[in-house]
Amino acid sequence: MKKFFTKLKNWWSKHKPSKRRLIQLYAALLYNANIKGFISGGIYKGATKNMCLPGLNCYSCPGAVGACPLGALQNALAASGTRAPFYVLGIIMLFGLILGRTVCGFLCPVGLGQELLYKIKSPKLKKSKFTRIFSYFKYVLLVGLVAIIPLMYSIVKFPVPAFCKYICPAGTFEGAIGLLVNPHNADLYAMLGPLFTWKFAVLCVLSVASVFIYRFFCRFFCPLGALYGLFSKIALLGVKLDKNKCTDCGLCIQHCKMDIKRVGDHECIHCGECIKVCPAHAISWKGSKLFVHANAEIAPPSEEKPLGAFLSNAAASETAEKGAESVMTVEVAPVEIAVSDASVEAAAVAPAKPKKTRAFWAQLVSWICALALLVSALVYYNFIDKDAERITSEVGDTCYDFTVKLYPEEEENFTLSDYRGKVVVVNFWATWCTPCVAEIPLFEKLQNSYADDVVVVAIQGVSYEPVAPFIKAKWDGYHILFAQDNLVDGKPETFPILGGRDTWPITLVVDREGVISYTRQGSITYEQLEGAVLAAMQGDK
């Protein structure tokens, strides 16, 4: 039994997580504190969702309690036209000025995932001049996908958050797959198409590459890391190099798996791994004075030289040079020197214990505060916050009596109760939703086939572009009613009440008595639509 515990202890000493790994895990859990979202299959839309988190964490992840800075920046650029989105840019700049690429090394869930994949035993591709050159590709993505394309689409009134839509692996894994694996979202499979196939393929390629290449996505494709890298020299936190101590041995560059040329440059993620390999102790944490006093750390025992020993050596050498006469001078006051040494040494060594204690208590208090914050977040989002709990209508319920503005001029209203006695088909769509736009002709066909008994209203959710011209260009002359959902703080009001689960389209059929007889999340075929309407007309629930 003793041997077993000894082996267990040895295994733990070799495999126990580092402080940086614990911080990475902590950040990933804190970003996704809405655990009940994974159970319900919905997306949290409370007040904190308007706040950007430092790392790359998808807004659409069921557990996410904040927004992704990269997605928020793209949406803001697309929606702002020629105006600068100062709010989002200000938040990102604040993160950059304080943390820089320390976010990549400590606070990014995507970075954590890549490091765990890299631990899989396999041949590893070492860094080289080629990887160094290729690392600049993420700056091309930063300028192109995050800035130029959204602005260009904003000018032509068809904005697209290009990086999130076509590349981002966090969006595919956390958002799409995170929702699709939930049984409550089974209807979403009908919405999958070539775009999801492409993004899933991109996710697979990036994941497999991360097994062989350290932080493959971070080094070559992440625009957020490129953005934070612009603040590397001026960020308050991170690693720094003391050039006066540096011997240019190059061990820090050799040991680093990132494509850095020097410690703390724009490719450095400030993981701190280089600190322990520097023989000259020239690398340290900058910004540490903000948290721990500069003298809180004690020098290694090998470097300690008590003042008494120094004076004794000096006296001995002086004695050898001056001869016996000097010896008499030195021997006259041996007690004074000893006393002086003892007092000076006591004064120098005595503060060591409280200084070390101060650093220990500073770390302990920091961990306690961090754990308190995490526990508070878990309790708040999963048990206290009621903003995410929506009262939704389901099949068999009397439909919520809503009123929305009609297009094209939005001068008339559509009120559900005004059409009591007819079957009402409600379709929620958005201009940017390809399946939504593709199925609108099906509703027009249904309206023309059952004009005397059925009313179809297509309610637009959220769009960055003028909707009336979009409708006129595509469906001028259609007989179905087009309406705009009521927006509260930029979010649709009726959509979630009638069962919307954060993705478009959704279709409801309300019978003649105002009771919901059919609901479907995702795309719908004409056969399904007609069958649901006929069932409602016949009174089948």
How far is Cα 18 from Cα 254, in angstroms, rounded to an integer? Answer: 21
Are 274 and 157 contained in the same domain? no
Whether residue 196 sits in one domain with residue 116: yes
What pLDDT does 314 receive?
41
Instruction: Give residue 34's pLDDT.
Output: 94
**pLDDT top residue among 195 and 458:** 458
Q: Are 111 and 105 in contact (CB under 8 A)?
A: yes
Place of tokens 């009771």: 515
Q: Give the pLDDT band (50/70/90) at residue 82.
A: low
Q: What is the pLDDT of residue 145?
A: 73
pLDDT in tens, 420-436: 999 999 999 988 788 89
Give CA–CA dist 231/266, Å, rounded: 8
Pairing of strands 491-492, 487-488: antiparallel
Same domain for 128 and 73: yes
pLDDT of residue 487: 81
- Residue scoring higher pLDDT (345 or 20): 20
SS3 of residue 516 by DSSP: strand
User: Are residues 156 and 52 located together in one domain of the fold?
Assistant: yes
Mean pLDDT across the stretch 445-457?
94
φ and ψ at residue 358, rounded to 5 degrees: -60, -45
Based on the fold, state whether residues 332 and 224 are members of the same structural domain: no
Same domain, 96 and 185: yes
* pLDDT mean over 123-134: 94
Per-residue pLDDT, averaged over 126-146, amounts to 90
Domain end residue (candidates: 184, 207, 229) = 229
pLDDT of residue 316: 41
* Mean pLDDT, residues 105-131 taken together: 95
**Among 120-129, 143-152, 241-250, which stretch is predicted with the lowest mean pLDDT?**
143-152
Bridge-based pairing of strands 454-460 and 423-429 is parallel
- Which residues span the domain enclosing 308? 291-388
Burial of 364 (0-12, 13-18, 19+ CB in 10 A): exposed
Give Cα separations from 479 to 252, 405, 411, 447 (angstroms): 70, 16, 17, 7
Residue linked to tokens 């101590």: 245
Residue 311 in domain: yes
Identify whether 360 is part of a domain. yes
| pLDDT, the chain, mean | 82
Asked if pLDDT for residue 349 goes beyond 60, the answer is no
Residue 188: which pLDDT band, with cuts at 50, 70 and 90? confident
Same domain, 50 and 97: yes
Q: Is the pLDDT of residue 324 over 60?
A: no
pLDDT tens digits along 55-78: 999 988 999 999 999 888 887 776
pLDDT in tens, 485-536: 988 766 788 888 887 766 788 899 999 988 999 988 888 899 999 999 999 9
Per the CB < 8 A criterion, the answer to whether 377 and 65 are in contact is yes
Residue 1 belongs to some domain of the structure: no
In a domain, 397, yes or no: no
**How many angstroms separate the Cα of 68 from the Cα of each of 22, 51, 63, 168, 429?**
22, 9, 13, 11, 24
In whole angstroms, give the CA distance from residue 450 to residue 432: 29
Number of structural domains found in the chain? 4
Cβ neighbours of residue 92 closer than 8 Å, sequence gap 6 or more: 52, 69, 73, 227
Mark whether 218 and 261 lie in a shared domain.
Answer: no
- What percentage of the chain exceeds 90 in pLDDT? 50
Quote the CA–CA distance of 521 and 65 in Å, as a whole number.
24
Residues 162 and 264 grouped into a single domain = no
CA-based end-to-end distance of the chain: 66
**For the segment 201-216, what is each residue's pLDDT rounded down to a tens digit?**
999 999 999 999 999 9
Task: Retrieve residue 96's tokens.
Answer: 């950059």
CATH number at residue 482: 3.40.30.10
CA dihedral 138, 222, 84, 49 (to 10 degrees): 170
Does residue 393 lie within any of the structural domains? no
Same domain, 370 and 482: no
Residue 137, in any domain of the structure: yes
For residues 52 and 96, is the Cβ–Cβ distance under 8 A?
no
Average the pLDDT over each of 48-57, 259-268, 297-306, 346-355 and give the range with the smallest value.
297-306
pLDDT at 458 over 60: yes
Contact (CB, 8 A) for 86 and 225: no
Q: What is the pLDDT of residues 294-317, one digit of tens each?
A: 444 434 444 444 434 433 444 444
Residue 153 is predicted with a pLDDT of: 58
Does residue 156 have a pLDDT over 90?
no
Q: Residue 339's pLDDT is what?
A: 45
243 belongs to a structural domain: yes
What pLDDT shows up at residue 332?
42
Among the residue ranges 385-394, 403-412, 506-515, the one predicted with the least confidence is 385-394
* In-domain check, residue 11: no
Out of 343, 358, 388, pick the residue that ends a domain. Answer: 388
322 and 214 belong to one structural domain: no
Q: Which amino acid is at 472?
A: K
- Quick check: 460 and 370 in contact, CB under 8 A? no
Q: What is the mean pLDDT of residues 348-352?
A: 50
| pLDDT number for residue 464 | 61
137: how many CB neighbours lie within 10 A of its CB?
13
Task: Assign 337 a pLDDT band (cuts: 50, 70, 90).
Answer: very low
Of 108, 105, 92, the C-alpha closest to 51 is: 92
pLDDT by residue (tens digit) across 408-417? 765 689 999 9
Domain end position, chosen among 388, 421, 452: 388
- Given a contact cutoff of 8 angstroms between Cβ atoms, the answer to whether 50 and 61 are in contact is no
Q: Are residues 499 and 415 in the same domain?
A: yes
Angle at 459 (CA atoms; ends 455, 462), nearest 5 degrees: 175
What DSSP string describes 426-447?
Answer: EEEE-TT-HHHHHHHHHHHHHH
pLDDT in tens, 166-185: 899 999 999 889 988 988 87
Q: Are 177 and 265 in contact (CB under 8 A)?
A: no
Among 458, 434, 452, residue whose Cα is nearest residue 508: 458
Query: Residue 354 — pLDDT band, cuts 50, 70, 90?
Result: low
* Model pLDDT, residue 328: 39
